[in-house]
Amino acid sequence: MGPPAGQVATHRELGLTDSEYERIVELLEREPNGVELAMFSLLWSEHCAYKHSRKLLGRLPTDGERVVMGPGENAGAVDVGNGYAVAFKVESHNHPSAVEPFQGAATGVGGILRDVFAIGARPIAILDSLRFGELDSERSRYLLDGAVAGIGHYGNSIGVPNVGGEIYFEAPYEQNCLINAMCVGLARTSEMVRAAAAGPGNLIVLMGASTGRDGIGGASVLASAELEAGDDAKRPTVQIGDPFEESKLLECCLELLNRGLLVSLQDLGAAGLTSSAGEMASAGGVGIDLDVRKVPLREADMEAFEIMVSESQERMLAVVEPPRLDEVVATCQRWQTGSAAIGEVTGGGHLRIFDAGEPVGDVPVSALVDECPLYDLEPAEPEGWMYSNEETLGTQVALSVGRSADAGDPSAILPALLASPSVASKRWAFEQYDSLVGSRTVRRPEQADAAVLMLPESERAIGISIDGNGRRVACDPYAGAVEAVLECAANLACVGAEPLGLTNCLNFGNPEKPNVAWQLDRAVSGLADACRKLGVPVVGGNVSLYNETGQGPIYPTPVVGMVGELPDPSRVPGMAPRDGDELLLVGPFAPSLAGSELAKLRGDLGPGLPALEISEVAAAIAFVRELARSGAASAIHDVSDGGLACALAEMAIAGGVGLGIELDPLVELRGASGETCLFGEGPGGFLVALPEASALKLVEEAAEGGVGALRIGSCDGERIVISAAEAEASVALEDAERAWRSLPSRVDPGR
């Protein structure tokens, strides 16, 4: 039976297909009214239901001996000893940020903070992974400036340090930027709480800010569809954040949990009251009754459906035993944050909505939360490269501080790569964030490959990293996703941290298109295989699909966030070598220009990355981790964007010392050209600086461990000189640093 003609337009406008509408009618055994249809449109959206990705996510390993909370909770958590757990999660706020970058990014930070303190963990760090179009675009500069300002505004105001992240600039993100925010929190394991509602007769209490019309339809209208021309009209679906309100709410919730006054707690994010109440009821196997007229409103004339789907920020939903309501309300008043009992837990298994006592909606919780159709993808490998290529190397070299504009001259290519916005220093952005507030930060941005935070409560420290490279995933979705996991683990290894758990954010285009479906399918398999080989469980994450416009999809961008443990933060090496140190290349690094930054600048991208052996890279990661913990190395830095030459230059800049490097041993070992050894990319390479007397011993230890290490040069002088067979890059240290720090001249922070 099809829906009436009038309803067809309504459900389609809300993002539901005809078959989904018919399924809703079948489940309800009647047609939904307006309130119910709005609720279904949100919880059956891609953003909430993961209807095109949930089957794939079952491939990811989620079990581990240190896992305290896994997928399905507001955030994952791992045991860090002494009765404490670290909670963490990464989520996207892509489409809102593409429409309104400041508020979109700010509320993305606010949302991920609430996910963490919803389980009883105090946020102690923020990281972010950002993607924009090329910086010669006015739109890209507008999005970048707004998003960075929004992230800084929210995190700085609430007093949580931003300790790391990444920013890439690629043409496919021109219209659809990516804003992925990660939060890390610390909790006493005994005080953590789950989101499941329990106890018929218990009260449903809404805490925090009042409810307005901002954010209505965000999950279905904005986040679960492709962006189109004229989407500035969707600005009303972008939430407005207030970090000071959230700060009060955070402290209030943590006190309530510490005092044992809450049965369960859930944040209100996408889909507002509908998702929070529905998911709490589903998790607890209970029903919930809500009266929308008991909800504190900013706008008195709001209709019932608007109240149920509003995504107003800084709100939490709690289950409270009736005798404890007065204590909860009094605590909220002391923290100057709102509270109101708006309903109760029932045993009926239905989510029932009332408006001043009059019923306006009644749906089975199972139908709303669990019965959304899950779709099988129809993947098809594209016949060729899906993205446009534009050669920019000549321009980049001409603008660089190199000695010539010859696109084949390594001495010009190196500063050109260092000045490339994706490789260049992001100090302009990092300086807008407070990375030290809270007094836990040991290593902050640009000091090491991963952030390091002290945890005196558990008598140890943690390393944190967030990584991904959409361009390389576009070249090979499986290998590129594997590399993202390995890169994250490698960054942790550089500071001596062993991975405890992983969170991810899967940013892809429209999964209903076969080529995008193929990218998603292959990337999830790559993530799963890499996690299993490394023994790292996935404790949660987020999926963001439909990231494309009429110009096509974004690069497929799985972003990986990882938390690791290390015993002694005082021994953590940075990436700054000392004058006189010897440099070694450790690990199975096999450079290739495929998918590299140099290939991009030459307009030379295409399908394919070299095959890699995960176990070999994993062995190198373990070896480097123990080396970092030993305190024997002055500096450790992994080889990443821009290849060996850029990694060496970054170390030279950090240490303020020149380098003399000879890569002929790598040329012979890999049978590669000199240019490839200079600028080729790939996983498994680590640069280690240490006193000359220790170098030979390290080479022997690496050989015994089956890892391999090459002595490639030393640190001295005021030039960076790197030779590989017929190729040589020679650049003054000050010129290399000028190129690497060139990004501020391309971005106007006052825009």
Catalytic: 93? Answer: yes
Q: Which two tokens stand for residue 660?
A: 């003399």
Smallest CA-to-CA distance from 502 within 71, 129, 109 is with: 71
Contacts of 612 (CB under 8 A, 6+ apart): 479, 482, 483, 590, 682, 683, 684
- Evaluate the CA torsion angle 197, 199, 204, 208 in order and state its sign: negative
Distances (CA, A) of 287 to 83, 228, 248, 278: 33, 38, 30, 8
Helix (H) / strand (E) element for 582: namely strand 582-586
Matching residue, tokens 């009059």: 358
How many Å apart are CA 718 and CA 656, to the nearest integer? 8
Q: What is the spatial order of strands in the sheet that 350-355 belongs to?
A: 264-267, 315-320, 203-208, 338-346, 287-291, 350-355, 358-364
Catalytic: 52? Answer: no
Per the CB < 8 A criterion, the answer to whether 622 and 560 are in contact is no
How many Å apart are CA 478 and CA 609, to the nearest integer? 10
Q: Which two tokens stand for residue 290?
A: 């809500």
Longest dimension (CA), the chain: 82
Which alpha helices (H) appear in 32-161, and where do they start and end? 34-43, 46-49, 54-57, 94-99, 101-117, 138-158
How many Å apart are CA 405 and CA 737, to the nearest integer? 19
Helix (H) / strand (E) element for 428: namely helix 427-430
Per the CB < 8 A criterion, the answer to whether 618 and 574 are in contact is no
How many Å apart are CA 149 and CA 747, to the nearest integer? 13
How many Å apart are CA 684 and CA 618, to the nearest integer? 8
Helix (H, G, I), strand (E, B) or coil at 210: coil
Smallest CA-to-CA distance from 308 within 177, 194, 219 is with: 219
Name the catalytic one among 11, 93, 95, 153.
Answer: 93
Matching residue, tokens 């000028």: 738
Name the catalytic one among 11, 47, 52, 95.
Answer: 47
Per the CB < 8 A criterion, the answer to whether 397 and 412 are in contact is yes
How many Å apart are CA 364 and CA 223, to the nearest integer? 25
- What residues are annotated to the active site? 47, 93
